[in-house]
Amino acid sequence: MFENIVGQPATDLLRDDVMHARLPAALLFVGPPASGKLTAALELARVLSCTQGGVWQCPCAPCVQHTELLSPELLVMGIKDLILEIRASARAYMSVHTQGTRYLFVRAVRKLITRFDERLWDSDDTRFSAAVSSIAELDQELASLPAQGDRRTTPEQKERVQRICVIAERLQQESLYTQLPVQQIRNAIQWVRLTPSGRKKVLIIEHAHAMHESARTAFLKILEEPPRDTLFILTTATKYAIMPTVLSRVRSYSFRERSVELQCAVITRVFHDRPTDAKNTQGVLLHYLYQFLSFSLEEVQTSVMYFWLYVCQHARCIGRIIPDTWVSVGTQPQVSGMDLTSLDSTMHFFQAHKQQHAVSLFFSLLVRHMRTLQRTTEYSARNTECFAHIAHCIEQAHRNVQLWNLTIQGTLEHLAHTIANHL
């Protein structure tokens, strides 16, 4: 069990707890993005349903269902941008036609499809109604994928895989919620109270920190008296954002940031590819996945520079003295004719790209830009304090968008004025 998780000691603890029947009713997997939290949760669900002790590649019926993510005893919910994983898995499947790469691709797509399980959605929900036809198309296309054969990619195979990716992207962009609806929590609670047909029901909630207050309150009620035959698995990258009343009712397992070597091993072993930037000191796996974005990192950098120029313009308007080097540091976009008295130039990027990764990358590159400015600025206690405060404000702004669902434009307006006032 857990042979598909690379370099995570947390799986050793999970294996030991399973073998000694020490699992509580609710677990919390905490760790950075791309650290294997969902993969571990799905593997744990398979192990608990297995009729042969959870052995790896078990052929029993429950394990086969879990491998294909078709088990009736499993529900997965929560916000997540799955397109990068789907595209990366598609490339792996097209380059290496094996049973393993087929499962990789199918599971990546089904991680999205499972969030549209009819047990979670109300039939009169317009987003669910719009998603039904796309899900039917995906199910049909996935069922037609050959497991293995000639390593050469045929035009028909390439067309089918590309079609699956397009449909999946449309499904996510047009129908997937940006915040977990409270009604889905209530529907899930009704489901877990039903007697399982197998050994164990498992409910997985990704990014549990992003649940709306009403959803958290509804979920807390079932955690207080969990059904005996149900396991709840929550995942998060920000443990501090989980309600204390929820934290007191779960057992936490920490998923660490993998070393560069282990991240390279994931890319090689799972995606059958080579890292795009193996010399990077961290984030090699995420950097690999970013190549499948629908936009370039240069576009994000340009958006960051527009934002920074807007901040400098506002700071000068309120009497702050801004060094010319602060305006010229970095890859400055062509600003001729641009209106730097508003955020319009920055917002063009977010209007064109609505993926969660767009927001995260923007704030990440903004922090990097501020660090570059700090290195070019004369050292003083005041400057050190100023940049530390700005970094805190950027982190808070990211949380406001990611956790509390505030609009990106309103958040950036407030952030720009805050930074300008501290320069």
Q: So what's the pLDDT on residue 161?
A: 94
DSSP secondary structure of 321-336? ---HHHHHSS-----T
How far apart CA 216 and CA 240 sit, in angstroms, is: 14
Q: So what's the pLDDT on residue 296?
A: 85
* pLDDT level of residue 339 (50, 70, 90 thresholds): low
Residue 63: pLDDT over 60: yes
* pLDDT level of residue 56 (50, 70, 90 thresholds): confident
Contacts of 64 (CB under 8 A, 6+ apart): none
The helix or strand, by DSSP H or E, that contains position 74, with its residue range, turns out to be strand 74-77
The token duo for 408 is 């990106």
Q: So what's the pLDDT on residue 338?
A: 60
How far apart CA 147 and CA 284 sit, in angstroms, is: 29
Residue 333: pLDDT over 60: no
Average pLDDT over residues 72-93: 94
Q: So what's the pLDDT on residue 150?
A: 55
**Are β-strands 230-236 and 251-254 bridged in parallel, bridged antiparallel, or unpaired?**
unpaired
The pTM of the full predicted model, rounded to 2 decimals, is 0.86
CA 353 vs. chain centroid, Å, equals: 16
How far apart CA 402 and CA 367 sit, in angstroms, is: 16
Q: So what's the pLDDT on residue 404?
A: 74
Q: So what's the pLDDT on residue 331?
A: 47
Q: So what's the pLDDT on residue 100?
A: 87
Residue 78: pLDDT over 50: yes
Looking at the chain, the whole-number percentage of residues with pLDDT higher than 70 is 93
Query: How many other C-beta atoms can be found within 10 angstroms of the C-beta atom of residue 355?
Result: 18
Strongest mean pLDDT among 85-89, 95-99, 224-228? 85-89
Q: So what's the pLDDT on residue 375?
A: 82
Q: Which of 103, 112, 104, 101 is nearest to 137 (CA)?
A: 112
* pLDDT level of residue 212 (50, 70, 90 thresholds): confident
Residue 152: pLDDT over 70: no
Outline where DSSP puts E strands in 255-293: none
Q: How far is CA 175 from CA 83, 179, 293, 294, 390, in A?
A: 14, 12, 19, 18, 36
Reduce the DSSP state of residue 32 to 3 states and report it.
coil
Residues making up the chain, counted from first to last: 423
DSSP secondary structure of 94-142? HHS-SHHHHHHHHHHHHHHHGGG-TTTS-TT-HHHHHHHHHHHHHHHHH
Residue 268: pLDDT over 80: yes
Q: So what's the pLDDT on residue 330?
A: 52
Q: What does the mean pLDDT of the chain come to? A: 88
- If one compares 166 and 383, the residue with the highest pLDDT of the two is 166
The token duo for 85 is 């994983």
* pLDDT level of residue 320 (50, 70, 90 thresholds): confident
* pLDDT level of residue 202 (50, 70, 90 thresholds): very high
Residue 357: pLDDT over 60: yes
Q: Which domains does the chain have, with CATH numbers?
A: 10-257 (3.40.50.300), 258-292 (no CATH), 297-422 (no CATH)
Q: How far is CA 99 from CA 4, 117, 272, in A?
A: 14, 25, 13
Q: So what's the pLDDT on residue 113?
A: 96
Q: How far is CA 141 from CA 107, 134, 136, 164, 244, in A?
A: 13, 11, 9, 7, 44
Average pLDDT over residues 28-48: 95
Query: How many other C-beta atoms can be found within 10 angstroms of the C-beta atom of residue 279?
Result: 7
Average pLDDT over residues 126-152: 84
Q: So what's the pLDDT on residue 408?
A: 92
Contacts of 267 (CB under 8 A, 6+ apart): 273, 274, 275, 284, 285, 288
Q: Of 29-38, 172-181, 198-207, where does mean pLDDT reach its minimum?
A: 172-181
Query: How many other C-beta atoms can be found within 10 angstroms of the C-beta atom of residue 394?
Result: 20
When computed from its CA atoms, the radius of gyration of the chain, rounded to whole angstroms, is 23
Average pLDDT over residues 8-21: 94
How far apart CA 179 and CA 335 sit, in angstroms, is: 36
Q: Of 29-33, 49-53, 118-122, 208-212, where does mean pLDDT reach its minimum?
A: 208-212
How far apart CA 100 and CA 123 sit, in angstroms, is: 35
Residue 29: pLDDT over 60: yes
* pLDDT level of residue 282 (50, 70, 90 thresholds): low
Q: So what's the pLDDT on residue 23?
A: 93
Q: So what's the pLDDT on residue 151?
A: 62
Q: Which of 342, 325, 357 is nearest to 412 (CA)?
A: 342
Q: Give residue for tokens 């598909």.
A: 4
Q: Which of 218, 209, 213 is nearest to 183 (CA)?
A: 218
Average pLDDT over residues 36-40: 96
Q: So what's the pLDDT on residue 278?
A: 54
Average pLDDT over residues 307-331: 79
Answer left, alpha or beta for residue 7, where phi above 0 means left and psi between -120 and 50 means alpha: left
Q: So what's the pLDDT on residue 86?
A: 97
How far apart CA 221 and CA 203 sit, in angstroms, is: 15
How far apart CA 14 and CA 145 sit, in angstroms, is: 33
Q: So what's the pLDDT on residue 96?
A: 86
Contacts 24+ apart (CB under 8 A), 313-322: 313/340, 313/341, 314/416, 314/417, 314/420, 315/419, 315/420, 315/421, 315/423, 318/420, 318/421, 320/420, 320/423, 322/423
